[in-house]
Every structure is written in structure tokens, then in C-alpha cells.
Structure 1
Amino acid sequence: MEFFELITSVEARQIIEDNISSLQSNSKEKIHITQALDRVTAENVMAPESLPAFTKSVMDGYAVKAEDTFGASEEKPQTLELIGEVRMGIEPTMKLEKGEAVKIPTGGMLPSGADAVVMVEDTLLEEERVQIFKSVSPGQNIVSKGSDIEAGQQLLPRNHQLRPQDIGALAGVGVEEILVYKKTKVGVISTGDELISLGNDLELGQTRDINTYSLGSLIEELGAITVEGKIVEDEFASLKAAIEDLVKKVDFLVISGGSSVGTRDVTYEVLDENGDDGVLIHGVAVKPGKPTIFTMIDDVPVYGLPGHPVSVMVIFKKFVAPYIKKRMGVKNKLNTVKAKFSQNLSSAPGREDYLRVKLEEEETGLVAKPVRGGSSLIMTMVEADGLVKVPLSKEGLVTGEEVEVELL
């Protein structure tokens, strides 16, 4: 493929999809639920126990047979014999007969024979008898065994990314360990003779490495792990050796820098020589991120991203992250909001633009204001709340136009 044989974002995604469609992870491991947040289930999870495990009261009051309270009122209370008290955490041994009541706390197990609870506010205790001033119906003020979760039911489906509420449900039915897919491993290489890592003094002409750290954070945000984030000089043999080493250890490889057509941009040359079928993509009609590269090396997806920090983050989110999620069995759900665009803004036809915007709440509703600055300025991402896509078929946006903002 020639340098910058531009294709649309749709065409680029189709090429990527065609090459990684069968790459969902088969590697699994059992982990404790305290370590399971954001991990993805590798099997359907069945509930071994019911929740609640027994029928319980949801009020402080008296467990009764509902029929014994029928007709009760302030003027004509029903009087029941108090035969005992339910203790929290202990199974009651008494059996309720007609005309009897048992004192019960919120969360206490309903004794045998009872089918309802009268709130303590609707009663009056007189020695060994309790007066009932308000009738209850069967099932009132109680929650039945298994009403939340029944033993044997499917609790969670396969390919489900675990949330805090899921962890709570697992704990509630006694699940301590869960089978999940192993974390996807993503290799990161930042190229550039000028780059230095943290911990080194900055000299004139040098640039601190941003992309290794921003990419590592984006990868962690997905629930994947970064493998050997490293800086490699702009030299063919060095980059080739680094790539050959990393593709043996990872499921995806992301390289930042060197993807354009400058004399020191060697990423294309190395990937074209080492790709299973050469370079499959070099140039996508988007801004930022036009000189994006994609290929496969030993069945590992390899991306060459531009070196500018904004381009790296935007292209990762739009063209890399969805496929890492897919490998992990996670649906690519975007977190978006609707807003009104703040001003007229032109866009080159035939190119898909991703605008950085700041969201502000005004009297008319949520407003998206463009954040100005080139793709080399990391602060434009820091100041931005989201991205707005301008389709390649449009020549810009107009004041007041409704836009969809993908939150960052």
C-alpha cells in the first residue's frame, strides 16, 4: 500500500474487523470476587443459593397469621398472645398457632406458621398480650425466600463486565470465586530519538514521553494491562527488534510516533516488512490521526499511531479500544450526551473530524464549546470533556446544532 492511500473510517474499521473477528480470548482464570471489578465473565454464573435465604421481616413488629388481624381497628383491636421473640441471626424454633404473635426485628426470620408482620407502631404490648390496631394481609411487611434471587437461576451471563452491583449480588449468594477471561495484554512502544522517560533531567531538544503514560492509562481503563511500555529510537533495526520481541508476549501492540512520511518515520517501513500481509492500512481520512497504520504480525493486531498526544488518544479510543473490548467479550458502549454546539465551525469535506469540546450548562441546556489547539497540545485534552464527530459528508457545524458528545 502506498503512503497515505486514504480510506474512510468505515473502511478502516472493516479491515480491522475482518482481521480480528476471531480473536476473542479463550484464556480463563478463577479469581476472588474482591479482584473481579471490570473483569469479564467467561461462563454463565448460576446462583448456588437463594437471596434472601429465608423469608424475613422488613419491619420491626410482630409476626402473625394475617387472618388473626382481620377487622382490627383503633376502636376494636385484635388481641393476640405473645409467645416469644425472634433473635437476629438465629433460626426461630417456635411455631405460630392461631391467636398467637411473635416479636420480630427488621431482617429477622419469619417463624413457622406466620405469614405477615404488623408494624410495631400499630400495636400495644400489655404484659404477655399484644393488641393489634391495624389489619395486615398475607405477605405484608415481609420479603419471601428467593424473592430477589432464586437458587439455580442465571445470575450473570457470559461476556458480562462486572460492576459493583454484580459483585454485591455474587457475595449475596455465597459466590467467592468467579471464572473470568484473563486480562488482554497490550504492548506499548513510543518512538523518537528526542524522547526521555520520567526520572531523567530534561535537556534542550528533548521531549518527555507522554504517550507511554496516556496509552497505559487508557489500556488500564479498559480493564487490560500494559506490557513493557518502552521508548525506542527512530532506527529501523531497533524498532524491528522491539516489535519482534513484544509480539511474542502480547495480544495487541500499539506504537506511537513514526507513522507519517518523514525521513525519520520508520514505523511504516518496519511494519510493512514484518506484517503478515504487509501494511493493511496507512492513512485514514480523519483529523486528528490521519497517518494511522494497521497490520497483523503473527496474528497479533499492530497499530502505528501518530506521535502527537491528542492524535494518540483519539485514535486509540476510536480505532483500538473497541477491538480490545471485543477480544475481552465486552460490548463497545459509548458514554454520550446530547448538547447544542456553541458556534459555526467549518470542516474539510471528505474528512471525519473529532472535535474536542468543553461542556457547559447554560439556561438553554447543555452547550458544547470547541477547545482550540493543535494535536500536539495535551492540555486541549485535559480541558476537554468530550469529543464531537463531524462526519466526512458535512462541511462543519452551525450554532445551536444538536451534537452527540462522547465523554472522555
Structure 2
Amino acid sequence: MLDKKYLFPEDAVRLIFKHITQRSLSSEIVPIEEAYSRVTAEDIISPEDLPGFNRSTVDGFAVKASDTFGAKESSPAYLKIKADIPMGAIPDFSLSNGEAASIATGGMLPEGADAVVMVEHVNTVSDDLIEVLKAVSPGENVIFLDEDAKKGETIIKAGHRLKPQDIGALAGLGIKDVKVIRKPVISIILTGDEIMPHTEKVTPGKVRDVNSFTLAGLCYENGAIPLKMGIIKDDYNEIKKAVTKAYELSDIVLITGGTSAGTKDLTAKIINEIGLPGVLFHGASIKPGKPIIGGVCNGKPVFGLPGHPVAVYICFELFVKPVINYVFGLTDKNFKKTVKAKMSRSIHSQAGRQDFIRVYLEEHNGEIWATPLLSKSGLIMSLVKAHGIVHIPSELLGILEGEEVFVEIID
């Protein structure tokens, strides 16, 4: 199945979604120490109330709020100190009207107390008497026993990528293990007679492997496991053998090179032979990355990525990353980090095509300016120097100097 038209990225990705199963990966149970950045496979339910007791948020005195009503510096309220509450201790008493107890931040309130007066708003009259200079309302300076989390409450939904604060919350609830989605394995196949290992000395007509390292890092960043399949010469049988093996070993297959028109461009042919429906689109209305191939073989996504390093990066972000999130069943919204900047020079674009311009950022007189890095997509250093990407939509013919744009930050 080959779409003759050049699709926009969002349409191409939706086409792939139609032929794969969302949340198609199996799950596994891991200790929370190993769950950072993993995607939850099920809703996580709070097993208990958190913090589990009424606690003070300040150093001061636990009180009945009603005993302080009307208190001010010119007319303080006088309370008897009943006890001191040590940190980590369970008070073995309750407060009656007119009584207070000394308490530290995080300390447990005794029965009868419903507020805490900050120590700054209290004068000590004697060892057992204080005057309160400011009234407090019920609940003031207190975290109640179920205010952070209630027993039986859904605290984290399925399809959420766990952040450090999430793991901290799980630890606070005594949760030791969590069910997460298995990390997808992504095979990376390099094709091309001109490519050589990065450890070897370059000879005329040859280039070192850049793409497998960029792609492997992008896989790691997006929660996947890269599987490098090596550098394959432009030979049909060798490429077919490598793709077949990668198809068996991985969840997603990436093939770089062999996507443009030419006698050695075998990627589309091999994808069609591996499984159905095969190639879904060959080419997208973008720059760089126009020659990308997207296909699905018996439910497994297979991509043919261009050989130029910048195009590889752009195509991963636009096509591969959304598919990874889809098979994860990720429900988190993908809010990209952006900054507003002014373009330092005009940029022209072709109507009907989405352009992705690398820029670096500078600050002048309190304003941020974006300077285009107008190098060819085969030059990796333009990505190294770039702070972000400016997306020119298909309906625009470019961006004028001084015009405000949103720059998607490259982490």
C-alpha cells in the first residue's frame, strides 16, 4: 500500500496508528528504585492516607483555633502550655479549652487541636503560659491526615511516565514495586557502502557512522532500548537478511539510508516483502526529511530514515517518537519546551511544505533572538550548535526578520 501523495507528519503518523495496536507491549513489575521514567501499566491506588496523621507545617503551638479568635497584640489570648510534643512522637494526651502544646514542623497534632500558631506570633509569659498575638482559623498551619492522598484514591493513572516526584510519593505511601510497560526494543540498521565504523580512520569517499549514535541516544531518552544491527552494504540480500533479523528481535525497526530514488534504494522493496500492509507512505511534506518511508509489517512499525544526520533527528522526533508513545499507551500530554524569540533574519519557505529550521539563541537588550543555522542536513554540527527548532507551517511562505516565533528547545 503506497500513498502517492506527500503527507504531513501528523497525517502520516495517524496512518501508522491505524495499523498497530496501542499499548501493544507487555508489562513487568519492577522495584520503584528502577521505575524512574518508566510508563505505568495500570492505575496506582493509594494503600493508605498520606500523611496518615494531622501534622504541623510550622514551628509553634498546637491549639484549638476557637481559643485564639479575636487575639491581637493589643489584646492577646492566654493559653496554658500542657506539654511539648517531641518529633516523631504520638501525643498521649488531648487538648482541652484554653490549652496549647509546643510543636515543631512536621510534628503530630494531639487530639483536640485543629490549628497551629506560629512561634513568631507568641510571647512566652512563663514555663506554662503563653500569650497568642494573632488569631488562627481551623486548619491553619496544618496538613490533615488525608490531605496529600486518601486511601483508595487513584494517585497515578496508567500510561503515565514516572517522574522523580512520583517515585517519592510512592515511597511515602510504602509502595515498593510498580507495574510498568516493558521497554520497546528498537533495531537500528545502517545501510550504505560509504559508511564506516567511528573507530576507523576516514578514507576519501567514506564517512563515519553518526546516525546510529544519535538514534541510540534518542531511543534511550524516550524509554526504549536501542539494538544496533551494524553497518550493511548496499546489497539487497544483506539488507533483507538484517531487516528480517531485526524484525524478529525488536518492536520497531529503523533503517537509515536507501530512501531516495535510485538503483541502490532497496528499503521500500524490503519493507513490502517483510509483512503486510508494508509501506504506508514514501515521502513527507517536510524539510529536512522528505524521503522518509513509513510502514507496518504485520503490526510492527518499520521506518526507512534518510541518511543525513539532521534529517534523521527531525524524522525521529516527528514520526518515531509518537509511535513509541503510542505503543507505550502513554496518556501524558506532550508539552514541548518552547521559548518566544525574534528571528534575526528572514527565512523563506515553500508553500505546502513544513520546514524545520535549526536556530541558536542570543539575548540582546532583554530580548531573545533566534539566528538560523542554514547548513545542509548532512552536517551534524548544525544540530550540535542549535538551541532549538523553529517550525514553519505549510501555509506560510516564510518568516520575516524581527517576527516573533516559538522555538522548540532541544534538550
Rounded to whole Å, the distance in 2 between the matches of 1:275 and 1:25 is: 18
Rounded to whole Å, the distance in 2 between the matches of 1:225 and 1:389 is: 29
Larger displacement relative to structure 2 (247-256 or 94-103): 94-103
Task: Report deviation, 1:340.
Answer: 2.6
Q: Which residue of 1 aligns with 2:80?
A: 81
2:335 to 333, 336, 351: 333
Number of equivalenced pairs? 406
Contact 1:12 1:281 (8 Å CA) reproduced: yes
Matched residue type, 1:359: L
Q: Which residue of 1 aligns with 2:222?
A: 222
Relative to structure 1, the CA distance from residue 90 to residue 261 in structure 2 (aligned partners, 3 Å threshold; closer, same or farther) is same
Q: Which residue of 2 aligns with 1:407?
A: 409
Question: Do structure 1's residue 358 and structure 2's residue 357 form an aligned pair?
Answer: no
Larger displacement relative to structure 2 (146-155 or 251-260): 146-155
Q: Which residue of 2 aligns with 1:262?
A: 262
SS in 2 for 1:279: strand
Task: Report deviation, 1:29.
Answer: 1.2
Task: Report deviation, 1:268.
Answer: 2.8
Matched residue type, 2:238: S
SS in 1 for 2:291: coil
Larger displacement relative to structure 2 (273-282 or 139-148): 273-282
Question: Do structure 1's residue 60 and structure 2's residue 59 form an aligned pair?
Answer: yes
Rounded to whole Å, the distance in 1 between the matches of 2:178 and 2:24 is: 16
Q: Which residue of 2 aligns with 1:343?
A: 345
Q: Which residue of 1 aligns with 2:45?
A: 46
SS in 2 for 1:280: strand
Rounded to whole Å, the distance in 1 between the matches of 2:208 and 2:316 is: 20
SS in 2 for 1:188: strand
Rounded to whole Å, the distance in 2 between the matches of 1:7 and 1:75 is: 79
Rounded to whole Å, the distance in 2 between the matches of 1:54 and 1:173 is: 13
1:8-407 equivalent positions in 2, closer than 5 A = 8-9=7-8, 11-20=11-20, 22-74=21-73, 77-121=76-120, 122-330=122-330, 331-363=333-365, 365-407=367-409
Rounded to whole Å, the distance in 1 between the matches of 2:101 and 2:399 is: 70
Rounded to whole Å, the distance in 2 between the matches of 1:137 and 1:347 is: 62
Unpaired runs of 5+ residues, structure 2, are: none
Task: Report deviation, 1:133.
Answer: 3.9
Rounded to whole Å, the distance in 1 between the matches of 2:136 and 2:350 is: 71
Rounded to whole Å, the distance in 2 between the matches of 1:295 and 1:137 is: 63
Task: Report deviation, 1:78.
Answer: 4.2
Larger displacement relative to structure 2 (303-312 or 384-393): 384-393
Relative to structure 1, the CA distance from residue 124 to residue 11 in structure 2 (aligned partners, 3 Å threshold; closer, same or farther) is closer
SS in 2 for 1:316: helix
CA distances 1:162-220 after superposition (whole Å, capped 9, x unpaired): 12222222222222221111112211111122322243344444321100000011111
Larger displacement relative to structure 2 (311-320 or 388-397): 388-397
Relative to structure 1, the CA distance from residue 257 to residue 131 in structure 2 (aligned partners, 3 Å threshold; closer, same or farther) is same
CA distances 1:104-147 after superposition (whole Å, capped 9, x unpaired): 11111011122222333312051333344444333332222112
Matched residue type, 1:386: G
Relative to structure 1, the CA distance from residue 74 to residue 248 in structure 2 (aligned partners, 3 Å threshold; closer, same or farther) is same
Task: Report deviation, 1:318.
Answer: 1.0
SS in 2 for 1:359: strand
Matched residue type, 1:183: K
Contact 1:187 1:229 (8 Å CA) reproduced: yes
CA distances 1:307-335 after superposition (whole Å, capped 9, x unpaired): 11111111111121111111112244333
Matched residue type, 1:353: D
Rounded to whole Å, the distance in 2 between the matches of 1:203 and 1:381 is: 24
Rounded to whole Å, the distance in 1 between the matches of 2:242 and 2:404 is: 46
SS in 1 for 2:18: helix
SS in 2 for 1:318: helix
Unpaired runs of 5+ residues, structure 1, are: none
Rounded to whole Å, the distance in 2 between the matches of 1:350 and 1:69 is: 70
Superposition RMSD in Å: 2.4
Task: Report deviation, 1:303.
Answer: 0.5
CA distances 1:35-83 after superposition (whole Å, capped 9, x unpaired): 2222111111111122221111222222223333445455554443333
Contact 2:45 2:153 (8 Å CA) reproduced: yes
Matched residue type, 1:231: I
Rounded to whole Å, the distance in 1 between the matches of 2:261 and 2:291 is: 8
TM-score by length of 2: 0.90
Relative to structure 1, the CA distance from residue 67 to residue 407 in structure 2 (aligned partners, 3 Å threshold; closer, same or farther) is closer
Relative to structure 1, the CA distance from residue 269 to residue 69 in structure 2 (aligned partners, 3 Å threshold; closer, same or farther) is closer
Rounded to whole Å, the distance in 1 between the matches of 2:403 and 2:168 is: 42
Rounded to whole Å, the distance in 1 between the matches of 2:348 and 2:132 is: 75
Relative to structure 1, the CA distance from residue 258 to residue 112 in structure 2 (aligned partners, 3 Å threshold; closer, same or farther) is same
Contact 1:351 1:391 (8 Å CA) reproduced: yes
Relative to structure 1, the CA distance from residue 98 to residue 272 in structure 2 (aligned partners, 3 Å threshold; closer, same or farther) is closer
Matched residue type, 1:174: G
TM-score by length of 1: 0.91
Contact 1:274 1:297 (8 Å CA) reproduced: yes
Task: Report deviation, 1:274.
Answer: 2.8
Matched residue type, 2:343: F
Matched residue type, 1:293: I
Contact 1:25 1:181 (8 Å CA) reproduced: no
Matched residue type, 1:208: R
Larger displacement relative to structure 2 (130-139 or 346-355): 130-139
Rounded to whole Å, the distance in 1 between the matches of 2:136 and 2:314 is: 60
